[in-house]
Structure 1
Amino acid sequence: MDPVVTVRQGKLRGRSHDGVSAFLGIPYAAPPVGPARFQLPTPVASWDGVRDALAFGPTPPKPVLPASPLTGLMLDPVIEGDGCLNLNVWTPDPGGSGLPVMVWIHGGAFRVGSSAVPSYDGTAFARDGIVLVSINYRLGVVGFPVLPDAPANLGLRDQLAALAWVQDNIAAFGGDPSQVTIFGESAGGMSVASLVAAKASAGLFQRAIAQSGSGQIGASLEDGAKIAAELATKLGVEPTAAAFAEVDTTALFAAQQEIALESAADPNPQRWGRSIVAAAMPFIPTIDGDLLSDLPVNAIAGGAGRDVDMMVGTVTEEMRFFLVPTGILPAVTPEAVAGYLRGRGWDESIGQTYAANRPDGSSGDVLSAIMTDTYFRVPTLRLAEARAAIGRPAHVYEFGWRTPVLELGACHAIELGFVFDTLDTPDLPAAQSLTGADAPQALAGRTHAAWVAFGRTGDPGWQPYTPDGRSVMVFDDPTTEVVDDPRGDERKAWDGLV
């Protein structure tokens, strides 16, 4: 018999299989359509009878990305409909109580992605005693605009609304609202850092995992307004929420895609704003003086979220995800490496340090490693250092397994199937995954177990990271082990820079 639970809005029917009950497409806020497109999330209306929660709900509006070698490897379902502010719950015991809860925030550069991606299936977490929740939130120009007649950070405010829903309703699924862990990757990891820094999140979660997400990302109001003005010019309207709300969704996101391509091709801070160029993304959380008063890493260093347990980490070769499929990596020359460093006002000796550590590597390998540390590893270590400075050290990991697919190596997002233990998900055949057909299941078991342990206790199984003991758990196959200050000479090269 299909399980039925009662939440504040009414009854929900899920589906059980092999001891796990899934409830999919549950609305946590009203559809953000019409005038509500650029307004705060509002409560969802109650319903009569029993509502089916058997399929993923509508995904947030997003642009159609151009075809690339990665589009077949990173599935991003599109499910039509207005009610994109929905979430999913997997539970081992909808009639139980006291189970730890983990809430997943997907990545996608704040412009694509959804909770319906097959590799985010929560079955394995539920199998191991966790109530797993995955959420959607508004993306791109709808989720992160700076407009005079709309609140900033609507995407983050959606995430807060979903977490408030969890507080109100997760007990109906056997979950304990006082044992909530938020975790996310890439833009989801940046969201995690932002939520830890935000005063409005107090009491909504007790633990947080930021995967490949920086605490140094945040647009100024001035720079966000520049992006809105550029978008308005392309659309031929005023840069206001009222005007944007009248624009067809397809046209709105097509213009957003043009902005993304132009800002990547010509990262001119005069045109786009320094904070936008630094992030390499046009639509990101904004330091609005309300939800966010400073960059997350600075707020955390000042004591924000000090009661929250944290785990942070990256993948060893993050930037290969962006440089290999585009053909950039093999075209990189030593001069290009030096030019990258000079363009940012950094000493070229940094490049020499990385090159010396990769005697058999190409200039592309060196640049990829430098950029990985620029955008991912060093900002993540800064988060860990900020936590240590307030006496609340974070646990740090690095995921080092190298996929053979497209020579991507240990690239951005490669850890996801291991974290969720979904290497053999039926809806995600090996031919369509970043990991390929022979990814080591034993490594998935170890990785997933660490995330489960952190969700249960706040301790994934190794020492936290401090200036006196820079312990990093390196997940690899056949060996997963703690390494003290991996590539410490490269880390030190960024002192005072990032």
Structure 2
Amino acid sequence: MALTRITSRYAALLGCLVTLPSFVLGWATYPDTDVVIVSNNDLDPSNANRASALYLKSAFSCEEALLACEQLQETLLPAPNTTAGLTAQNLSVALTSERHGAALGKTQQVWVASDAPDNCGAFTPSYQYSDVGYALDTNVDFATLLPVLCTNSAPLTRSNVTSYDTTRKIQLSTPSAGTLTGYRDKFTFRFLGIKYAEPTNGSARFRPPTALTVEPETERSALQYGSICAQPPDADNGHLLYSNEDCLYLNVCSPVANSATNSVQTAPKLPVMFFIHGGGLNTGDSGPFPFNMTTSGFVGNSVSNIYDGTNVVSYAGVVLVTINYRLTAFGWFNASNAALKDALLALQWVQDNIESFGGDPTKVLIYGESAGGVMTRYLLGTNPVYTEGLFSAAILESDFGQSDPFLSIPLAQNISLKLAQYLGCASNSSTTFNDTMAQCVQDLPAGDIATASYNLGISWSIAVDGDYVLTDIASSIMDGDYARVPTIWASNECEYCYFLPSTIAPTANASVFPEYISIGFNTTGAQAILNATDLYPYQTAPSADGISGAVLTLAQLFTDFAVHCPELYLASLETNTTNPGNSYKVVFATGLGSPLTPNPETCVGQVCHADELYWVFATAETDNLYQPLTPGQVATTREVINRWTSLAWTGNPNYEGAVVEWAPYTGDNEIVINATATETIEPYRVAQCDFLVTQIGLIFGDP
């Protein structure tokens, strides 16, 4: 068995392969051991001392340890110092924590490098170490079998690059996804573009997905993101048309790679964060996308990977899964609910395979932003027969409960009829959608279908099919026939500051309010709103950040009606009916402008749609935006990630050490996340929501 990249010092150790089992992929040979990336990542980009190491769980002699690190293109970790990087104290914390994949006992010795060349010393983790020093045992017999700490020279993932550094590869076997080759960066193992379903073109278009069948020994590369699903041009895809229907891929990011031939798991498994991207159910992807503007203005041609997991995974000790699912007509045409079934299949993939990545299949939190929040609501409302055991908690960020309702089959098919007519598959006089029309659309090029849906401005929604979906979400909650899991409903302070038409000038006078409320309300509703000047004082509201009070009031009205109040209503409904004590309502009063929402003038100084994502993923650093973060921004990032991941770990967002106790939402105790991670609990816009519920009405099913 040939080894490459091995120095002459180790050439004499080839015989160690008898006692150090290895496996080969292409040019590389890997030690037969599970590997954990341990770090002191505190999410502060200004901290130059953030560092990581590779913890090899298997027991090795000193010579075998040296070779094992070399096989991973690393060396034995230098003895931890007292001033920078991995100190004895913070390394001990990482190794003994039960939340990061190692969970060593405080008396467990580990091989590290000693001061003498090519020699080992034994490091013993202990919380008792201070920054002034520790004892390294250099008298341990070199034949003693101990776990190992190696260096990790991999760089931190950056977004604005032409390709990722994938040279530090790792291989692991999975129960149903084959043998995957991923790679590591500074803080995580990354397995990208894992195909979980067969292509959905041809006769499979609009049909339920078929799981990809892979033999256990099949070697598969997981070094690059998969194809973007068919979709029309938009800001989050580079303004390009995509037509690929072989796009059902997912990505896994974890500090743990259970790559040993016979894994022995002693540390607690890590909870899984299962994220669904946004894009109005029409566009988007789980990987990087090009951009040149944010809500802060023009930033030059760049690339964002806003859902990258390297920081959140290493800081919180979780496994992140991000998925692609079918978009626009391909996910919903002919009341197929195909996109919902894609997500369910991806969740089943997690159940089957996530333990190979250190994940716990009994602790899966589903969450998403915008259309991802909509998809999360759809999953919550899915017939529990299909979701039982697939997830244990949920977070909905900016769920548009009024814009994406649960539709009856006839209403859902009316939308399909509209598309069929535009594509020449039905006459304009047709009033009923039928199978012949569906087959005609199915036979057309994917690009034509995506473009037609875009040109028509179709808003797709889930269909109440009597099988996967029994009724709308509000009725499901009242009936108790839904996934009753701990849930956070989250929205941003001025979601609709982003969605206001570009024809509205930021400084528009008070006449803009009555003129534009007809967009979303009938004559009776509009007049009721105009009369409610105590709730929506469009004539007297003060301007802010160069935006008139009338424009801000208009944006707040639509934010209330489309996002905030529907979430408030459903959170309260859960608490007061079938899921008491498990529903929380949160509003972000601070944010960082996202590349997903490029620079509308009415977002200046406001917390707009998608502005919470940099808190949730800690990717402002990897996207190289807002650098350096202020201390308050770092604190907010930590706070949000602590809350989100605590829900995944325990089903409760109140992590140990939290300053403010979050209580389940009961009607007047919404949590407001302010700047510098301060939080208040208040009856946030409850009067406005009461008015909209009683005087205007919220509709979660057929309008």
- Structure 1 stretches lacking a partner, 5+ long: 66-70, 261-280
**Amino acid in the other structure paired with 1:488:** V
**Amino acid in the other structure paired with 1:345:** T
Aligned with 2:651 (options 455, 458, 477): 458
Deviations 1:392-442 (A, max 9, x none): 4411111111557545111111111110111111xx343xxxx79867233
1:247 Cα deviation (Å)? Answer: 0.5
Alignment of 1:208-227 (within 5 A): 208-216=394-402, 217-227=405-415
Whether 2:248 is the aligned partner of 1:85: answer yes
Q: Distance in 2 between matches of 1:286 and 1:249?
A: 22
Q: Distance in 1 between matches of 2:389 and 2:662?
A: 26
Q: Does the CA contact (< 8 Å) of 1:77 and 1:114 recur in 2?
A: no
Q: Does the CA contact (< 8 Å) of 1:351 and 1:370 recur in 2?
A: no
| SS at structure 2 position matched to 1:376 | helix
Q: Distance in 2 between matches of 1:338 and 1:213?
A: 21
Percent of aligned positions that are identical: 29
Pair 436,294 (structure 1): closer, same or farther in 2 beyond 3 Å: farther
Q: Distance in 2 between matches of 1:353 and 1:481?
A: 24
| SS at structure 2 position matched to 1:490 | helix
Aligned with 1:115 (options 286, 298, 306): 286
Q: Distance in 2 between matches of 1:349 and 1:341?
A: 16
1:306 Cα deviation (Å)? Answer: 5.3
| SS at structure 1 position matched to 2:341 | helix
Deviations 1:325-372 (A, max 9, x none): 564654462432564576263213335412178344522111110000
Give the structure 1 partner of residue 447 of structure 2. Answer: 250
1:27 Cα deviation (Å)? Answer: 0.9
1:169 Cα deviation (Å)? Answer: 0.7
| SS at structure 1 position matched to 2:232 | coil
| SS at structure 2 position matched to 1:319 | helix
Aligned with 1:489 (options 684, 687, 700): 687
Q: Distance in 2 between matches of 1:80 and 1:92?
A: 34
Aligned with 2:275 (options 104, 108, 132): 104
Whether 2:240 is the aligned partner of 1:58: answer no
Q: TM-score, normalised by structure 1?
A: 0.86
Whether 2:524 is the aligned partner of 1:345: answer yes
The structure richer in helix per residue is 1
**Amino acid in the other structure paired with 1:471:** N
Q: Distance in 2 between matches of 1:75 and 1:300?
A: 39
1:231 Cα deviation (Å)? Answer: 1.0
Range that drifts further, 238-247 or 115-124: 238-247
Pair 49,42 (structure 1): closer, same or farther in 2 beyond 3 Å: closer
Q: Which has the higher contact order (CA 8 A, sep 6+)?
A: 1
Give the structure 2 partner of residue 355 of structure 1. Answer: 537
Give the structure 1 partner of residue 589 of structure 2. Answer: 400
Give the structure 2 partner of residue 284 of structure 1. Answer: 461
Alignment of 1:276-425 (within 5 A): 282-305=459-482, 307-323=484-500, 327=504, 330-331=507-508, 333-336=512-515, 339=518, 343=522, 345-346=524-525, 347=528, 348-355=530-537, 358-360=541-543, 361-389=548-576, 390=578, 391-401=580-590, 406-408=601-603, 409-425=606-622
**Amino acid in the other structure paired with 2:541:** R
- Structure 2 stretches lacking a partner, 5+ long: 1-71, 73-168, 259-264, 289-304, 427-432, 594-598, 655-660, 699-703
1:167 Cα deviation (Å)? Answer: 0.6
Q: Does the CA contact (< 8 Å) of 2:497 and 2:555 recur in 1?
A: yes
Deviations 1:231-270 (A, max 9, x none): 111111256442222111111111111110xxxxxxxxxx
Q: Distance in 2 between matches of 1:242 and 1:478?
A: 55
Pair 259,334 (structure 1): closer, same or farther in 2 beyond 3 Å: closer
Range that drifts further, 152-161 or 338-347: 338-347
Give the structure 1 partner of residue 357 of structure 2. Answer: 173
Range that drifts further, 221-230 or 350-359: 350-359
1:486 Cα deviation (Å)? Answer: 1.3
Q: Distance in 1 between matches of 2:608 and 2:486?
A: 26
Q: Does the CA contact (< 8 Å) of 2:184 and 2:190 recur in 1?
A: yes
| SS at structure 2 position matched to 1:144 | helix
1:205 Cα deviation (Å)? Answer: 0.3
Give the structure 2 partner of residue 157 of structure 1. Answer: 341
1:379 Cα deviation (Å)? Answer: 0.4
Range that drifts further, 310-319 or 359-368: 359-368
The count of corresponding residues between Structure 1 and Structure 2 is 461
Q: Distance in 1 between matches of 2:512 and 2:560?
A: 19
Give the structure 1 partner of residue 373 of structure 2. Answer: 189
Pair 158,106 (structure 1): closer, same or farther in 2 beyond 3 Å: same
Aligned with 1:31 (options 186, 195, 199): 199
Q: Distance in 1 between matches of 2:425 and 2:307?
A: 38
**Amino acid in the other structure paired with 1:441:** V
Q: TM-score, normalised by structure 2?
A: 0.62
Range that drifts further, 184-193 or 300-309: 300-309
Give the structure 1 partner of residue 389 of structure 2. Answer: 203
Q: Distance in 2 between matches of 1:41 and 1:328?
A: 45
| SS at structure 2 position matched to 1:414 | coil
CA RMSD of aligned residues (A): 2.5
Give the structure 1 partner of residue 150 of structure 2. Answer: none
Whether 2:170 is the aligned partner of 1:3: answer yes
